[in-house]
Amino acid sequence: MARTCDFVVVGLGAMGCAALAQLAGRGRVVGLERAGSGHRGGSSHGESRILRLSNFESPSYGPLVRRAVEYWEAMERVPEEIFRKVGVLEAGPAGGTLMTGTRAAAEAGGFSSEAMSAREAGLRWPALSLPGDWEVRFQDGGGYLRADIALTRLREIAVATGRAEILEAGASEIREADGAVSVVTDDGDVISAGAVVVTTGPWIDGLIPALRGKLTRSRQVVGWFAAARPQTVAPGALPVFCFDHADGFLYGFPDLMGLGVKAAFHDLGETLARPEDAAPPLPSEVERIRVLLTRLLGQMTTEPNVARTCLYTSARDQEFIIDRDPARGCVVFASACAGHGFKFAPAIGEILADLACGARGGEGPFRLARPGLD
Ligand SMILES: Cc1cc2nc3c(=O)[nH]c(=O)nc-3n(C[C@H](O)[C@H](O)[C@H](O)COP(=O)(O)OP(=O)(O)OC[C@H]3O[C@@H](n4cnc5c(N)ncnc54)[C@H](O)[C@@H]3O)c2cc1C
């Protein structure tokens, strides 16, 4: 079957759904998702993602996060809130990557960041027992996103325009000739468009060869642990947390779903040649999370309630890559959204839509041609 539209978005994780919602406001768009909605194979599944306003990774993210928050707030509907501002607690050695970075980002972005001692933090949130010499800061404007609700809402926004169609289908090839571009699906259907947006997460270098050799896929283990004192980890009793410990960078959430505290190491896990190679979590990997969690947050029961894997896709310089395909001018893409991209999704969707419409070029810090990727 052949069809024609203005835009095709390939891959409907967080970035693709955000691009779909944007492009549906600008023309007729078809979204292709190979694995169906709500699948657990990529990077966007699950119920929660942290939203930090000051991002220790770079002080330059201030405008991007502000833009994203504007979108998240504009998308809110009662009672299914997306952005829940429970605050983000960050703690670690004063000279470490997390605390140095978050201090600089708060200052550059003008975000509030309350400093306190480890003892004061323990009095305010009784679960905590942080090393006395750590620096502790609280971002009261941060919190978490309900990732599952966010993806559903973005799809709904797109479909409600009457100009978006979502197909459960994979794209096997993108062809461009004489200024026209078309996507060939796994079933051999051809969709012709003015521009194609590729947001296939860990699979992206299959469709964008220019990214080959520039990305790392890593397998990240996440566990949900029941606390011996459940009242101390209930929402309201504990904010979202990030701890820069010598044994690993640990982050987590209060017990949002009755499954316990969700926690994981942010440090890059096992490198994978293919996304399909991600094996289920090993007991030793889950135990490593539990041991550190117990040390900083109080006793957790020995068996996790649930443990899963998720994939980070990272660039060599740990920065996003959002650009036009150098070989095909009608193809744009967003990649390497790593372990911190979700919160920015609506702002990245806007950049992708602008690129697809020719309203902006691929200049700026996220361009493909940059020294950190050579
Ligand atoms: C464990 C974990 C914790 C994280 N925590 C945070 C956090 O706290 N805060 C934060 O901001 N970010 C966080 N992130 C990062 C964030 O979730 C990712 O950056 C983001 O989800 C990446 O989305 P994506 O759309 O690029 O990729 P994906 O979600 O992987 O989406 C790609 C989609 O493309 C589809 N696809 C692939 N190939 C094809 C094809 N050929 N045709 C059609 N469809 C195709 C796939 O099925 C998939 O659905 C975390 C990530 C992980 C893994």
Q: What is the token pair recorded at 127?
A: 């679960």
Phi-psi region of 243 (alpha: psi -120 to 50; beta: other; left: phi over 0): beta
φ/ψ of residue 359, rounded to 5: -80, -10
Task: Find the 51 Cα to ligand 1 centroid distance in Å.
Answer: 15
Residue pair 260/196 in contact (Cβ under 8 Å)? The answer is no
Report helix, strand or coil for 358: coil
Give the residue whose CA is nearest to atom 38 of ligand 1.
Answer: 200
CA distance 276 to 284: 21
Q: Given the DSSP bridges, would you call strands 83-84 and 248-253 parallel, antiparallel or unpaired?
A: unpaired
> Hey, where are the domains in the chain?
2-44+148-212+318-373, 85-142+216-315
Task: Find the 201 Cα to ligand 1 centroid distance in Å.
Answer: 5
φ/ψ of residue 326, rounded to 5: -60, -25
166 C-beta closer than 6 A to ligand 1: no
Task: Find the 16 Cα to ligand 1 centroid distance in Å.
Answer: 9
- Is the preceding omega at residue 79 within 30 degrees of 0, hence cis? yes
373 C-beta closer than 6 A to ligand 1: no
CA distance 253 to 243: 12
pLDDT of residue 78: 84
Which atom from ligand 1 is nearest to the alpha carbon of 169? 43
CATH of domain 2-44+148-212+318-373: 3.50.50.60
CA distance 25 to 41: 29
Q: Given the DSSP bridges, would you call strands 135-139 and 114-116 parallel, antiparallel or unpaired?
A: antiparallel
Q: What is the token pair recorded at 103?
A: 């201090």
Q: What is the token pair recorded at 32?
A: 């292709």
Element (H, E) at 211: none
Task: Find the 339 Cα to ligand 1 centroid distance in Å.
Answer: 9
Distances (CA, A) of 262 to 47, 160, 170, 239, 293: 10, 33, 31, 12, 10
201 has which bridge partners? none
Query: End-to-end CA distance of the chain, in Å?
Result: 41
pLDDT of residue 336: 85
pLDDT of residue 39: 76
Residue with tokens 């078309």: 182
pLDDT of residue 309: 94
pLDDT of residue 35: 92
HSE (side-chain half, CA atoms, 13 Å) at 73? 10
pLDDT along the chain (374 residues), means of 10: 93 98 98 86 92 96 98 94 97 97 98 97 96 98 97 97 97 91 97 97 97 96 95 95 98 96 96 93 96 92 88 94 95 93 98 95 89 89
Would you identify the CATH topology of the domain 85-142+216-315?
A: D-Amino Acid Oxidase; Chain A, domain 2 (3.30.9)
171 C-beta closer than 6 A to ligand 1: yes
Ligand 1 pocket test target in 45, 49, 319 with most atoms within 8 Å of CB: 49
